[in-house]
Amino acid sequence: MTGMVLAAGLGKRLRPVTIRTPKALIPVRGKPLLQWALDKLGRVGADPIYVNVHHHAPFVRTFLSQIETAEEIRVVEEDPVLETGGGIRNVARMMETDAAGGKTAGGSRAGSDTSGTRDSLLIHNADVLSSLPLDRFQDAFESGKYDAYLAVQTRKTSRPIAIDSEGLLSGRFGEEPVRPADSLTPVGYSGILAITHATALALPGEGSFPLIDSLLALIQEGARVGTYPMDGAYWTDVGTMKRWTQVEHDLANGVIAPEALA
């Protein structure tokens, strides 16, 4: 499976720190957020791993050139920034270009298409830290039931998504569902997903566009987008100074062990 870290964010809510430091390189326990995400993807065999960059891109490139990983890291610079949906589709297109140029996606299973054009993507936001067992998440997606698979939690969020009794994404909570459902439950998307290469290529939108809206459009055309409940797991996105301080506190005081986030 091919990995991807979404690391192009501007980090506006973390200013003034992100005026000079890219959000993806903010340290937690002395380890940049990007490194946490790369390590997590690497441990489940994602290879290669694409990293999209924009804000302070040269800093991120320099960091990646200085670390040693068993996985091949491929940097994708966005200008302008493409948001989550546009960034994922852009990488899906690059997978085809890389395959045509002789590069192959790592981790291909026996009998699978080794060109990389049918390889699925396992995607992790750079600013997300969690104790989600990524291997179990990956196994559930690889059951073949879904075109895309989102990690979700029952938590407060400004724009909750709605899932049906089977855990299928059905719309945004409080809005008209895009597929028939007897009952809907509000959950928050947690910044971790898996998606088939074909689905990533088919994400509708022009230039820069969000992920959830494009998935909802595909669901109307018959796509199945499942969800993995991670209630009970530790989760945070280091998107504000308060959350950054909180996760450092939690790690320092044993609320969560560093190895649980790896």
Domain that holds residue 65: 2-252
Q: Is 215's pLDDT higher than 90?
A: yes
pLDDT attached to residue 102: 65
pLDDT attached to residue 181: 82
For the stretch 218-245, pLDDT in tens is 999 999 999 999 999 999 999 899 999 9
Q: Provide the whole-model pTM.
A: 0.90
In a domain, 260, yes or no: no
In a domain, 259, yes or no: no
In a domain, 208, yes or no: yes
Locus of tokens 């390189």? 25
**pLDDT, greater one: 117 or 7:** 7
Q: What is the 3-state secondary structure (H, E, C) of the chain?
A: CEEEEECCCCCHHHCCHHHHCCHHHCEECCEEHHHHHHHHHHHCCCCCEEEEECCCHHHHHHHHHHCCCCCCEEEEECCCCCHHHHHHHHHHHHHHHHHHCCCCCCCCCCCCCCCCCCCCEEEEECCEEECCCHHHHHHHHCCCCCCEEEEEECCCCCCCEEECCCCCEEEECCCCCCCCCCCCEEEEEEEEEEECHHHHHHCCCCCCCCHHHHHHHHHCCCCCEEEEECCCCCEEECCCHHHHHHHHHHHHCCCCCHHHHC
In a domain, 262, yes or no: no
Q: Is 112's pLDDT higher than 80?
A: no
pLDDT attached to residue 156: 86
pLDDT attached to residue 116: 39
Q: What does the pLDDT average to over 50-68?
A: 92
Q: Is 14's pLDDT higher than 80?
A: no
In a domain, 107, yes or no: yes
Look over the chain and give the mean of its residue pLDDT values, rounded to a whole number. Answer: 90
Question: For position 139, which CATH number holds?
Answer: 3.90.550.10
Using pLDDT thresholds of 50, 70 and 90, give the confidence band for residue 11: low
Using pLDDT thresholds of 50, 70 and 90, give the confidence band for residue 52: very high
pLDDT attached to residue 21: 82
For the stretch 182-203, pLDDT in tens is 899 999 999 999 999 999 999 9
In a domain, 258, yes or no: no
pLDDT attached to residue 107: 36
Q: Is 69's pLDDT higher than 70?
A: yes
Q: What percent of the chain has pLDDT over 70?
A: 93
How many structural domains compose the chain? 1
In a domain, 83, yes or no: yes
Q: What does the pLDDT average to over 88-92?
A: 96
